[in-house]
C-alpha cells in the first residue's frame, strides 16, 4: 500500500470511529437523562457525566485531536500551536476586566456601555469580545450587544474557575516565558528557586514561601486549587478505592491543607483516625472544614514536612500533590524525614500523576500529563514522574523502602504510588 493510500485509510478510519463514538455518546446521554452538548446558555449543562459518558468523551477528544492534526498537516499544525498564546491574552482580559460579571446572565450589554464600565476603548472591547466569540465564549446580538454563551455563563457562575484563570495568566504564564532561560542559567540544578517563576517574579525562594507573605496571591492560589480539586477526576475520595484499608487505623495526611482528603477518607472509613499536617496558618481553616461528626477522628497539627516526623507508628503516611512541587533532592529529604517515625510495615502513599511510558496511551491523554510536567518545571524546577522515577526516588531515600507499585482507580486522573517500610 502506498503512503497516500495509508493516509487515506487513516483519515477514513478516524472519521468512522468519530461517527460511531458520537452515536454511542448521544445514546449514553439520552439513557442517563443528560442534555446534548450545546453552546446555548439557556440549556442545562452536563456537570457530571456517568462513567461511560466520561470514557466516550475522552475517546472523542482523542480521535478528533488526531483527525485535526492529520488534516492540518505539519505547517498548519505548528502554526496553530504558536498562535494559541493569544488565548491567554483573551482570557486574561476577561479576568482582569471582569467581563463575565458585567454581561447580564439573561440579557445583553452594548459594547459602548461595557467599554464605559471598564474604562477601556469600545474598539478594544469589541476586539477582545469578538475573539472570545470565536472560542464560543460570549455571543453577539445585533452587532452591538454582547450576551452570554454557555461557556461565558459558566465562567460568570464559577468564581473559583476565574481564580484559576487569574493564577494561570498572572503567575504561570510569565513563568512559562522564562522556563528555558532558567534551564540555561542553572543547568542541572536541584533547587526549586532556580525556575522560570523565580526569574519572572524576581524570587529567590520557593513559590510557597513567597505566598506566606502575600495573602491576596495566596488566597487566589488556594481558590484555584479548590476549583481544580472540585473536578470529579481529581476528587480525593478516589484514594479510598486504591487500597484495602482494613488494617489501617491511623493515617497522617502530610501537606493535607484544609482537610479535603482527610474528610473523604474518614467519611468512608469509620475506623480511621487522621492527623492533618500543614502550615500553622491553615489550622483554623481546617477546623472549619471538618464536619462536627468527624471532629473526634480528625485533628490538625502544624508541621514542616522537611522536619522529622513527630507522629510515630502510624499505619500510613499520605502525600497528595506534594512531590511534584519539588525536585528529586527535596523529595528524598521528605521521605527521609519520615524514617525515625516509621514502624515495620507502615505504608507511604503518594497521590500524584504518573507519566505514562511514551506511546502507551493516546497522544491526547499522554500530552495532558506531560503538559503538567512542563508546568512543574516552569514553576518549581520540579517534575511529574514515570513509574521508574518513583521507584528510584524511594530507593534513593532508603533501600528499606520497598516499592509497592502504582495503583490506578477508574475515574481518577491521579495515580496512587506506595512503598512499605521494611524496617531494620
The CA distances from residue 128 to 30, 62, 82, 118, 120, in Å, are 36, 30, 19, 13, 11
Contact 256, 320 (CB under 8 A): yes
CA dist., res. 252 & res. 315, Å (int): 8
What is the chain's Cα-based Rg? 24
CA proximity to 169, closest of 112, 103, 94, 227: 94
The CA distances from residue 306 to 255, 303, 336, in Å, are 11, 9, 9
Contact 355, 384 (CB under 8 A): yes
DSSP secondary structure string for all residues of 85-142:
HHHHHHHHHHHHHTHHHHS-TTSEEEHHHHHHHHTS-HHHHHHHHHHHHHTTSSEEET
Q: Residue holding cell 522529622?
A: 308
DSSP secondary structure string for all residues of 199-256:
HHTT-SS-HHHHHHT-HHHHHHHHHHHHHHHHSGGG-GGGGGGTS--TT--EEEEET-
Count CB-CB contacts under 10 A for residue 31: 11
Q: What are phi and psi for residue 110, nearest 5 degrees?
A: -70, 150
**Is 148 labeled as catalytic in the residue annotation?**
no
Contact 409, 241 (CB under 8 A): yes
Most distant CA pair in the chain, distance: 76
Active-site pick, 194, 303, 318, 324: 324
Count CB-CB contacts under 10 A for residue 415: 22
Strands 415-421 and 316-320: unpaired
CA dist., res. 54 & res. 410, Å (int): 11
* Contacts for 384 with CB less than 8 Å, ≥ 6 apart: 324, 352, 353, 354, 355, 369, 370, 372, 373, 376
Q: Hey, what's the cell of 64? A: 478528533
- Which residues are identified as catalytic? 324
Amino acid at each position: 500500500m502506498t503512503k497516500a493510500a495509508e493516509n487515506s485509510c487513516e483519515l477514513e478510519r478516524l472519521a468512522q470511529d468519530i461517527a460511531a463514538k458520537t452515536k454511542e455518546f448521544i445514546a449514553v446521554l439520552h439513557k442517563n437523562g443528560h442534555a446534548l452538548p450545546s453552546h446555548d446558555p439557556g440549556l442545562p449543562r452536563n456537570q457530571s457525566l456517568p462513567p461511560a459518558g466520561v470514557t466516550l468523551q475522552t475517546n472523542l477528544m482523542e480521535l478528533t485531536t488526531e483527525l485535526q492534526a492529520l488534516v492540518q498537516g505539519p505547517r498548519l499544525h505548528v502554526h496553530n500551536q504558536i498562535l494559541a498564546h493569544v488565548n491567554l491574552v483573551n482570557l486574561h482580559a476577561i479576568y482582569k476586566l471582569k467581563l463575565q460579571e458585567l454581561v447580564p446572565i439573561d440579557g445583553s450589554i452594548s459594547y459602548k456601555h461595557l467599554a464605559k464600565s471598564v474604562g477601556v476603548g469600545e474598539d478594544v472591547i469589541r476586539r477582545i469580545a469578538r475573539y472570545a466569540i470565536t472560542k464560543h465564549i460570549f455571543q453577539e446580538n445585533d452587532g452591538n450587544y454582547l450576551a452570554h454563551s454557555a461557556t461565558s455563563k459558566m465562567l460568570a457562575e464559577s468564581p473559583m474557575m476565574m481564580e484559576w484563570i487569574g493564577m494561570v495568566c498572572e503567575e504561570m504564564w510569565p513563568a512559562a516565558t522564562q522556563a528555558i532561560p532558567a534551564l540555561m542559567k542553572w543547568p542541572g540544578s536541584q533547587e526549586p528557586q532556580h525556575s522560570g517563576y523565580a526569574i519572572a517574579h524576581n524570587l529567590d525562594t520557593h513559590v510557597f514561601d513567597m505566598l506566606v507573605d502575600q495573602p491576596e496571591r495566596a488566597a487566589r492560589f488556594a481558590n484555584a486549587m479548590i476549583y481544580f480539586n472540585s473536578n470529579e477526576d481529581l476528587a480525593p475520595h478516589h484514594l479510598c478505592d486504591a487500597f484495602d484499608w482494613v488494617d489501617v487505623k491511623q493515617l497522617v495526611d502530610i501537606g493535607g491543607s484544609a482537610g479535603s482528603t482527610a474528610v473523604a477518607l474518614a467519611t468512608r472509613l469509620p475506623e480511621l483516625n487522621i492527623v492533618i499536617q500543614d502550615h500553622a496558618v491553615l489550622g483554623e481553616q481546617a477546623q472549619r472544614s471538618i464536619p462536627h461528626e468527624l471532629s473526634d477522628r480528625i485533628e490538625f497539627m502544624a508541621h514542616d514536612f522537611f522536619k522529622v516526623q513527630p507522629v510515630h507508628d502510624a499505619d500510613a503516611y499520605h502525600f497528595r500533590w506534594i512531590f511534584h512541587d519539588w525536585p528529586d533532592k527535596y523529595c528524598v529529604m521528605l521521605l527521609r524525614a519520615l524514617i525515625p517515625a516509621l514502624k515495620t510495615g507502615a505504608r507511604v502513599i503518594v497521590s500524584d500523576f504518573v507519566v505514562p511510558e511514551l506511546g502507551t496511551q493516546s497522544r491526547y491523554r499522554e500530552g495532558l500529563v506531560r503538559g503538567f510536567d512542563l508546568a512543574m518545571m516552569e514553576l518549581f524546577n520540579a517534575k511529574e514522574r514515570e513509574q521508574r522515577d518513583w521507584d528510584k526516588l524511594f530507593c534513593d531515600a532508603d533501600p528499606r523502602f520497598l516499592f509497592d507499585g502504582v495503583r490506578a482507580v477508574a475515574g481518577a486522573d491521579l495515580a496512587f504510588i506506595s512503598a512499605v517500610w521494611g524496617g531494620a
